[in-house]
Structure 1
Amino acid sequence: MHEQLFLPGFDAPPRPTDRLFFALIPAAEAAAAIVRQGRLLQEEFGIKSRLIGVDRAHVTLSHVGDYLELPQDVVTAAMNAAASVRAEPFDVTFERVLNFHGRPRNRPLVLVGGDGVAALTAFQRTLAKALQRAGIRSANSHYTPHVTLLYNKYNVPSRDIEPISWTVREFALVHSLLGRTRHVTLARWPLQP
């Protein structure tokens, strides 16, 4: 992507400060296993990049938007859409590590799954349809369920890992304070058997 050039006398648009997204938050044991896997990879490959913390481990379901301030009308519409979603708890398993393509010095190192994320993919489609009905366009047209461990300049060889699994019993609407490495959970919705 090319950097936008601006004419003298015109300011660059301000950078967003707030992000809104739906996510699955791993169970405590799974979050600890995710961070442990990240540390093993850091040690093995000499990666100095900062690892995601246990408190920020998540699987993004749908990016709602980036904003200069969190718009309450969008938050309300997203919450109403989420409240309409009906689904049963399901299991997820992440069993492979790989790099996504990104900027050359900022490649996401992620955990992905095979058959172990099929129910997650189906749930994400259900949520995306509810968001569409509420007038919120989903940014995840080519959804690949993953957990980001860190951002790194090196490519780590793709390979299988000891599977990390948990039962998903709820999903959440998360407010990310951009550039401040902080997530605030605004609401959670339980999955009902």
Structure 2
Amino acid sequence: MTVHALFFCLRPDPVTAAQLTAVSDALVQRFGLREKPPRTERLHVTLHHLGWFDDADPVALADVRQRAESAAASLRDAPARVDFEEMLSFTRKPRNRPFVLSGGACLDEVRRLRAALGDELAAVGLPVDPHFTPHLTLLYDDLAVPSQPLPMPAPGWTARHLHLMDSLQGQSTHVALARWSLD
């Protein structure tokens, strides 16, 4: 049985994604992190997680997807600049910790866009988590890297599209379900 995790996100263009993968490779070397195959096609900044759904209840998955698409179609917001200035490991779990790029004020446009999308999601009756740490996960590792400024520039991008994705749990696969232009 497949478990689906639906989420809205911002995705880098292919050139920026490749550049982010190169930054990830350099950070792996610098900090002695576990080398893994590149996950260039899965790089994203999650805005809203919509829940987990399994194949046993396709009606729930279809309902949430339909309401999420309605919310996204109602969104009227500008493109958002996505930049990073720090790196850290999330340490909520003892192993396989996310190693991420993040930042402060440089991600304010992402926060603004998330808030606007959250208003639209609430309007169609979907729950909105008030907690948000904008970040882009590069890899997972048992080693915890403390929060610190990036030792090298990391490429950013202007997000011109909002994406609805389906993460197939345990399969390391993200399926693009829909995309909306930000204008």
TM-score, structure 2 as length reference: 0.90
Counterpart position of 1:9: none
Q: Letter of the 1:174 partner, please give it.
A: M
| Contact 1:23–1:62, Cα closer than 8 Å, also in 2 | yes
The offset of 1:96, in angstroms, is 1.1
Q: Does residue 171 of the first structure (1) align with residue 162 of the second (2)?
A: yes
Return the offset for 1:121.
Answer: 0.2
- Aligned partners of 2:20 and 2:154 also within 8 Å: no
Percent of aligned pairs sharing the same letter: 38
**Cα deviation, residue 119, structure 1:** 0.8
Query: Please, which runs of 5 or more residues in structure 1 have no aligned partner?
Result: 1-14
Task: Tell me which residue corresponds to 1:95.
Answer: 85
1:146 and 2:146 aligned: no
* Higher fraction of helix: 2
Cα distance in 2 for partners of 1:33, 1:53 equals 12
Cα shift at 1:52: 5.2
Q: Which of 170, 177, 188 is the equivalent residue of 2:179?
A: 188
Deviations 1:49-96 (A, max 9, x none): 536511000000000010112511111111001100001113121121
Q: How far apart are the structure 2 equivalents of 1:87 and 1:64?
A: 20
Structure 1 residue 48: Cα displacement: 1.6
SS in 2 for 1:148: strand
Structure 2 unaligned blocks of 5 or more: none
1:26-68 deviation per Cα after TM superposition (whole angstroms, max 9, x unaligned): 1222211221111111112222253651100000000001011
Cα–Cα, structure 1 residues 52 and 23, in superposed 2: closer, same or farther, change >3 Å?
Answer: farther
SS of residue in 2 equivalent to 1:117: helix
CA contact (8 A) 1:176 1:182 kept: yes
Structure 2: distance between partners of 1:60 and 1:43: 26
Aligned 8 A contact 1:102 1:108 in 2: no
User: Which residue type is aligned with residue 99 of structure 2?
Assistant: L
Shift of 1:102: 2.3
Q: Which residue of structure 1 lines up, in the alignment, with residue 102 of structure 2?
A: 112
Q: Report if the CA contact (8 A) 2:80-2:113 is conserved.
A: no
Report deviation, 1:180: 0.4
Report the alpha carbon displacement of residue 142 of structure 1 after superposing the two structures with TM: 1.3
